[in-house]
Structure 1
Amino acid sequence: MEEHFVIPEIVDAWSKLDAPWRDDPAVRVMAMDRFAGPLGDISDSRVAAMDAAGMDVQVLSLAPPGLQILDTADAVALQRVTNDRLAEAVRAHPGRLQGFAALAMSAPDKAAAELERAVKELGFQGAMVLSRTREHSLDHRDLWPVFEAAEALNAPLYLHPQTPPLAVRDTYYQVDDPGASTALSLFGLGWHYDAGVQLLRLIFNGVFDRFPNLQVISGHWGEVVLFYLERIAEGARFVNALDRPLIDYFRENMYFTPSGMYGERYLRWTVEMIGVDRIMFASDYPFMAPPEAGMPDYVTHTGLDQEAQEKFASGNWERLTAGIKR
């Protein structure tokens, strides 16, 4: 369910942005030959690639940097275009493709309305959101209408990493080799730290206290945060503003996927901390190659028992989406 696509109109909009909003590192990655072709294909070739990897269903989502770096007018116009285009692909491949809506988060009320349309009219399974909407972090109170709509619909939001702000990239991730700088600021580390901080901001700024039934999915095994959870929880004891112990937000409001990080140690740690009812499979297509022996072989060799394997492969997702109010 972290399986990406892009349409030409979005690529064109990205190319026309001025600094500081233009996300050059991410856009360069999306334009690489090895990714641009698969990202632009949501037809029979996509399904053939799924067959080759042993994947029955992909939940497609707009690739980063998505709509949230665009100016509001463009984002609002393109959210409907993007979602309608994705809906066509889903209709053309019933039972194989599903959809996450792309949302113009800079216009929260319109994004909330589009989420409702995408779920109720297009049959989507929720939405994918990125860490920030221009200068606003995801927890910013202006964006809360989207959380309100998602909770009312019982529709999950998948939080995807976003390139850190330019000042952060220049301060922390700039090294002599430009290619290494890009890698460090994106998939090397910067994406994951940035998204992990956003998960914590949702907790500490009261989003889950205001919307206690909101469900957020986090890729890459919790974007580093999950592996420091005991340490973070220790510090959270000094925070009086939370309604619940920190661990409860992770176990009651979040799900976690590998996003192509197939290491069994990551999986075992996540299960130990959160439990098998909160893990879901995701491959991060087309950015991560499938396991050499295919998806089914990976799932059966996780060390999970049969019931847990079924929950991880599809059962938890089916249970979550069965509760969406359409």
Structure 2
Amino acid sequence: MKGKIALEEHFSTEEFLADIKPYFVREGKWEEGKATICDISGKRLEEMDANGIEYNILSLSSPTIQGMCSTPDAIVAARNINDYLAEQIAPLPRRFGGFAALPTQDPEASILELQRCVKDLGFKGALVNGFCNIDDPENAIYLDDPRYHPFWEEVEKLGVPIYLHPRMSVPSVRKKEYAGHDWMVSAAWGFHVETGTHCLRLMASGLFDKFPGLQIVIGHMGELLPFQIWRICNRVDSHKRDCKAEKSFTHYLENNFHITTSGNCSTPALLCTMLETGTDRIMFSTDYPYETMSQAANWFDNLPVSNNDKRKMGRTNAQKLFHLEFLDD
């Protein structure tokens, strides 16, 4: 399928390479990985052309801004990286868009930076790498905290999606839960548990009852949620306890969340997700450069689904959500 749009596509700069180096070092591919993730329009564009991908929305790799313990430093770094990305993608507006990096350590600063990125830089929304740290790596602040209500109000007003991306849990949790099993810490398991938990916190807090227009994008075929949503709803319905949600969690998954296929080329997993959410809320992505565009594209192009569903998931759903109709001009 030609004309695919991909949404979870990462880049980095020299400033943030320390955050991502462990992922590539473990694979023995540091020099290659460094060159690939810092590239914007060289090899990346060649890979897009070779795999029928027309448009990428780029985002700063995890955890970066959210992992900075100094709030003033996070504010400066977010502005600088957004300016850098805007400059890099400006020559190719029909091939690349941007997600804003936000200093969520400071909700008011995040509002101002999101406004600037959307209104002045033309970004398509923001990507937030999970909880943020304030002052201490063990201090995890999640986006269901009431201090973020003004931020979410502005997100709803701007009408742009927020992509909620994984990061590793805090060091003390990793030390206990994954002791002797470092392979579980990130993409193989821990990322998805962490992000799925964050999503459930947002749902349970009543956030989407207060701001029903909010649209959240999550990757990796839904961060485990489509496969567990029935049981979650069943247990919450019978043992609500301190859950503040006014509607069912299925309702929020179907009305406030969009799911990408990033890094999860499983046809059974996709079919499960289609049955839970319908095809209008599923979008193609690759998770480049942590996964290859060729694997994601070859899998997607050969899916045993209708051409109509394939086109929706590969292109038109993203066009509608991110207002990319100009690609058909």
TM-score scaled by structure 2? 0.88
Alignment of 1:64-75 (within 5 A): 64-70=62-68, 71-75=70-74
Aligned with 1:59 (options 34, 42, 57): 57
| Structure 1 contact 29–35 (Cα < 8 Å) conserved | no
Q: Which amino acid letter does the alignment assign opposite residue 203 of structure 2? A: I
Q: Are the equivalent residues in 1 in contact too, given 2:178–2:184 (CA < 8 A)?
A: yes
Change (3 A) 1:61 1:269: same
DSSP 3-state at the match of 1:188 = coil
Output the amino acid matched with 2:252.
Answer: Y
- Listed one character per residue, the Cα deviations across residues 205-251 of structure 1 (whole Å, up to 9, x for unaligned) are 12111111000001011111221111001012132632212211000
Alignment partner of 1:147 is 2:152:
yes
Q: Partners in 1 of 2:24 and 2:114 — Cα distance?
A: 25
- The Cα of 1:323 is off from its aligned counterpart by 9.3
Instruction: Determine if contact 1:27/1:65 at 8 Å carries over to the other structure.
Output: no
Q: Deviations over 1:252-302 (max 9, x none)?
A: 00000111211111110000001000000110000012344x72x433422
Amino acid aligned to 1:259: S
Partner-residue secondary structure (3-state), 1:128:
strand
Match of 2:174 among 165, 169, 173: 169
Q: Which of 35, 38, 48 is matched with 2:36 structurally?
A: 38
Look up the equivalent residue of 2:278 and give its one-letter code. Answer: G
Q: 2:85 touches 2:98 (CA, 8 Å); kept in 1?
A: yes
Corresponding residue for 1:5? 11
Identity percentage over the alignment?
33
**Residue of structure 2 in register with 1:20 after alignment:** none
Which residues of 2 match residues 118-137 of structure 1 at below 5 A? Answer: 118-134=117-133, 135-137=140-142
Unpaired runs of at least 5, structure 2: 1-6, 134-139
Matches within 5 A, 1:74-113: 74-113=73-112
Q: TM-score, normalised by structure 1?
A: 0.89
Q: Specify which of 272, 275, 296 is matched with residue 275 of structure 2.
A: 272
Residue 315 of structure 2 aligns with an amino acid whose one-letter code is S
In structure 2, the residue matched to 1:216 is 216
Letter of the 2:8 partner, please give it: E
Question: 1:287 is matched with which residue?
Answer: 290
Map of 1:193 onto structure 2: 193
Deviations 1:7-54 (A, max 9, x none): 22334xxx5xxxxxxx6xx54226633421111111333211211232
C-alpha separation between the residues in 2 aligned to 1:254 and 1:39? Answer: 27
2: CA distance, partners of 1:27 / 1:244: 42
Structure 2 Cα separation of the partners of residues 88 and 80 of structure 1: 12
Is 1:28 aligned to 2:36, yes or no?
no
State the partner residue of 2:163: 158
> Does the aligned pair in 1 maintain the 2:318–2:324 contact within 8 Å?
no
Find the counterpart in structure 1 of residue 306 from structure 2.
Answer: 305
Equivalent-residue separation in structure 2 for 1:241 and 1:34 (angstroms): 47
SS at match of 1:73: helix
SS of the aligned residue for 1:164 comes to coil
CA distance in 2, matches of 1:251, 1:91: 34
Amino acid at match of 1:141: P
Deviations 1:67-91 (A, max 9, x none): 0111111110011111111111221
Structure 1 contact 154–323 (Cα < 8 Å) conserved = no
Q: Aligned Cα RMSD in Å?
A: 1.8
CA distance in 2, matches of 1:188, 1:44: 29
CA contact 2:9–2:57 (8 Å) conserved in 1? yes
Secondary structure of 1:312's counterpart equals: helix
- How many residues of Structure 1 are paired with residues of Structure 2 in the alignment? 305
Q: Which letter does structure 2 place at the counterpart of 1:67?
A: I
Look up the SS of the partner of 1:255 in the other structure.
strand
Report the CA distance between 1:66 and its aligned residue: 1.9
Deviation of residue 184 (structure 1)?
Answer: 1.0
Tell me the SS of whatever aligns to 1:285: coil
Instruction: Kindly indicate whether residue 258 of structure 2 is the aligned counterpart of residue 255 of structure 1.
Output: yes
What CA distance in whole angstroms lies between the structure 2 residues aligned with 1:303 and 1:115? 39
Distance 2:58 2:293 in 1: 16
* Distance in 2 between residues matched to 1:51 and 1:300, nearest whole Å: 14
Checking the alignment, whether the CA contact within 8 Å between 1:61 and 1:99 is kept in structure 2 is yes
